[in-house]
Structure 1
Amino acid sequence: MSKPIVAIVGRPNVGKSTLFNALAGEMISIVKDTPGVTRDRIYADVNWLNMQFTLIDTGGIEPESKDVILSQMREQAEIAIETADVIVFLTDVRQGLIDSDAKVADMLRRSNKPVVLVVNKVDSFEKLMPDVYEFYNLGIGEPVPISAASRLGIGDMLDEITKHFKPEQLQEEEDDRPRIAIVGKPNVGKSSIVNKLLGENRVIVSDIAGTTRDAVDTEVKYHGREYIFIDTAGLRRKSKIKEELERYSIIRTVSAVERADVVVIVIDAVEGITEQDAKIAGIAHERGKGIVIAVNKWDAIEKNDKTIYQFTNKVREVLAYMPYAEIIFVSALTGQRLNKLYEVIDVVIENRSMRIATGVLNEILTEAVALQQPPSDKGKRLKLYYMTQVSVKPPTFVIFVNDKELMHFSYTRYIENKIREAFGFRGTSLKFITRERKEKDQ
């Protein structure tokens, strides 16, 4: 199921980040920061009345001069139009209606995407409503008054946003063909790999960063099995500001990862693994996707018998939080080992859907507890009663214990390792949920 994507667009200082944090803070359980996942969050999962969506903040760039502001807003709007299912256009009741608001509203109107016009900083609905009505003049529908800082009107706004979700976005997809996203920094050879895998030049490739055109998903048949490759469309804008480019490429990556079953992270062998690679990997890990790391341009490396071993160690070190990721060394240029990629993807898909019988799980649990005593605190020891698998994609397990507080992260990791020793689960993360049961419930 691919969650709808909602993007916030608006001028500097209208409160985009305040709104983002209001939604991200209270209603969302943000996963504790995984190493390599940026602190400066630009996306978060929101759950409203059992509807889930991914929220993207396109802000964060606050340029000096007036004309730059408009061009920046245009750029934000373009990204939102391209990646979002619903666009939240945020304005500020105190600053009133400004020329650049009208210009961006024109773009949004032409996009044919649903737009929710939100007027922020309305701290008193009684006093400020006449000023809110002024925003009707933008011609993109009824303005929704909110105060992100005082959290007023947020529920009404979320109702408006979720109204625009299509029923199929909220249901499980019927299409069970595996979806593969090939992601990575600009210029690591993503498009070349996709071309080779497709066996024809569907994607335009050239050496300039940011030349891939709009995203088009491609169906491929290989050995009688069908796959869908999600094109993560490299950046079209040749922007001067490098960080900004990275920020936007991350937005694109998030929307591709969101829709994928398996994420192939392409790393440049010549450059080695970088912090940006770790960020991208962190997004896929956090989202519980299948993960394959493809080290491209392997043909360009001088090798001896230890090279692969050393490179693998380096990758494992940087991505220490995902030891399960599969690593494969390829060359898009020579086609070396690219067909092997399909095999690795198949293994990962199978592992993401693997179910383990409860009886077998509890045998592993009993043995694990016997080998390594659970932690205790102030004389109270953790007891693990029972474990069962509740879902797949990624495989998710519930462990019933006497006291949740005693279930340290490290002990969960230990149980995970025991399960992996028995079943592998290569290429997929595993999710563990701890539930408490009182002694007398036994």
Structure 2
Amino acid sequence: MPLPVVAIIGRPNVGKSTLFNRLVGKRLALVDDRPGVTRDRREGEARLFDLTFTIMDTAGFEDEDPHTLPGRMRAQTEAAVRDADAALFLVDARAGITPLDEEIGRWLRGEDTPVIVAANKAEGRGGEAGRLEAFALGLGEPIALSAEHGEGLADLFESLRPYVEREEEETVEEDEEDPSRPLHIAIVGRPNAGKSTLVNTMLGEERMITGPEAGITRDSIKLDWEWKGRGVHLVDTAGLRKRAKVEDKLEKLSAMDTRRAIDMAEVVVLLLDATRGLEAQDLRIADQVIEEGRGLVIALNKWDVADHASSLFNGVKAALQEGLSQLKDVPLLTVSAKTGKGIDQLLGAAFEIRDSWSRRVTTGELNRWFEKAVDNNPPPAPGGRRIKLRYITQVKTRPPTFVVFGTRVDQLPESYRRYLLNSMRRDLKLGAVPLRMTMRAPKNPYDANKD
């Protein structure tokens, strides 16, 4: 089934090609300060959060004889709009509304294609006057946008959503939905925690150099492996010491390489040394993994030689609950890199975390949960003025990321946002993976004095 089509229209040099490049994620369209660079219609597959659609860049709309080159370009633009599911009418917020903008507006009002007006070049507050002026075009509330700086994309998402989201669930990247794809897993921890020994035991060969000296591994070593018929992309990393103790340039580069490995991983295994227990540096590493939005599994290594095993496990678990308050119930497992005990459980937990990390909640299920959560615990009314939460949408996976739309959301306390996240994790069974939630309010100047 073809993707919905959105055509960008506007007079020359308002930033149509810049926005096109922003939405397709590549510099496919030529961009220059001079007007009239774009002549033919150019199409590309656009991604805006979780919306996927065909975006069409068009020539600048000019009032010229149909037989001239500008006239033929205008005919191409008109045809593009008539074939589109929605038209995105771009105006220059800093220049204000021109007579040609007004002519384009009159023509669009006579067409059947839905129109969204976007005031581009509105970075900062400099374009607000031009945005308000665009109300006079009679095509609804304009949104503020900066194609060059990527500002206003959440408002653009909200405006486009009714016209293109019908394809949303059918156009999720196949790679994200395929449970058979290789698991990208990075093993991190302090020096001498046994990371390379664990990798060697997993592979069944002495692939990594090991020894009693700390810091043998310097580069992040990437290895392709198979566990029970499932592909695993395994990365062994250099040990991470407390930053203040890192003085050697090579060790600094190794630490940067490890952090890049965390960025590229789907799930990170934080390996602890059971003979030393949980240390502050372990919590710092775990916090970095969560901050990067990666799935996290914590493994207590050297369990075969640990003293007072039961009390040690309970003590580490309690310390993690307190030290990682932003993400409760992170899996804590025991392993022996030397004997291989616990490795199957570790890999099984990593695949489960990856499944939760990649999960997409359907729009219907998500908003049924949202209505119930808000009904059970309505948001506060600071100063006697209600905060209205209207709906929620999942904008991406890996990690699951959500946007809540409503009014006065800037006054919503952090405790209420935590309530929503905790309820979501529990009720929707999203597991112990990082979740992202942002709040967005429509920018309508006429709402300023309304409840």
Q: Could you say which TM-score interval applies, normalised by the shorter chain?
A: 0.5 to 0.7
Give the corresponding residue for 1:208. 213
Say if 1:183 and 1:232, in contact at 8 Å, map to a contact too.
yes
- Residues 1:329 and 1:430: Cα distance change in structure 2 (over 3 Å): same
- Residues 1:262 and 1:227: Cα distance change in structure 2 (over 3 Å): same
The amino acid across from 2:182 in the alignment is: R
Give the corresponding residue for 1:22. none
TM-score by length of 1: 0.56
Give the corresponding residue for 1:259. 264
Say if 2:357 and 2:398, in contact at 8 Å, map to a contact too.
yes
| Post-superposition CA distance 1:12-68 (Å, at most 9, x none) | xxxxxxxxxxxxxxxxxxxxxxxxxxxxxxxxxxxx98989xxxxxxxxxxxxxxxx
Is 1:432 aligned to 2:437, yes or no? yes
Aligned mates of 1:213, 1:202 — CA distance in 2: 14
Say if 1:292 and 1:427, in contact at 8 Å, map to a contact too.
no
Give the corresponding residue for 2:200. 195
Give the corresponding residue for 2:233. 228
Aligned mates of 1:331, 1:194 — CA distance in 2: 11
| Post-superposition CA distance 1:218-265 (Å, at most 9, x none) | 001111110101221458xx9xx9332675553232111111111111
TM-score by length of 2: 0.55
* Displacement of 1:406: 1.8
What's the secondary structure of 1:265's corresponding residue? Answer: strand
The amino acid across from 1:333 in the alignment is: K
Q: Which has the higher contact order (CA 8 A, sep 6+)?
A: 1
- Residues 1:304 and 1:260: Cα distance change in structure 2 (over 3 Å): closer
Say if 2:219 and 2:257, in contact at 8 Å, map to a contact too.
no
Give the corresponding residue for 2:383. 378
* Displacement of 1:338: 1.2
Match of 2:246 among 226, 240, 243: 243
Q: Which runs of 5+ in 1 are unaligned?
A: 1-47, 53-171
Give the corresponding residue for 1:186. 191
Say if 2:220 and 2:261, in contact at 8 Å, map to a contact too.
no
* Displacement of 1:400: 0.8
- Residues 1:376 and 1:292: Cα distance change in structure 2 (over 3 Å): same
RMSD: 3.1
The amino acid across from 1:388 in the alignment is: T
Aligned mates of 1:231, 1:390 — CA distance in 2: 32
- Report how many aligned residue pairs link the two structures: 272
What's the secondary structure of 1:197's corresponding residue? Answer: helix
The amino acid across from 1:330 in the alignment is: V
Match of 1:352 among 354, 357, 377: 357
Most deviating of 419-428 and 181-190: 419-428
What's the secondary structure of 2:215's corresponding residue? Answer: coil
| Structure exhibiting the larger radius of gyration computed from Cα positions | 2
* Displacement of 1:173: 12
Aligned mates of 1:407, 1:310 — CA distance in 2: 36
* Displacement of 1:408: 2.1
Give the corresponding residue for 2:348. 343
Say if 1:197 and 1:339, in contact at 8 Å, map to a contact too.
no
What's the secondary structure of 1:302's corresponding residue? Answer: coil
Give the corresponding residue for 1:364. 369
* Displacement of 1:407: 2.2
Aligned mates of 2:213, 2:367 — CA distance in 1: 54
The amino acid across from 1:242 in the alignment is: K
* Displacement of 1:307: 4.3
Percent identical: 36
* Displacement of 1:337: 0.9
* Displacement of 1:216: 2.7
Aligned mates of 1:284, 1:304 — CA distance in 2: 26
Give the corresponding residue for 1:396. 401
* Displacement of 1:322: 2.2
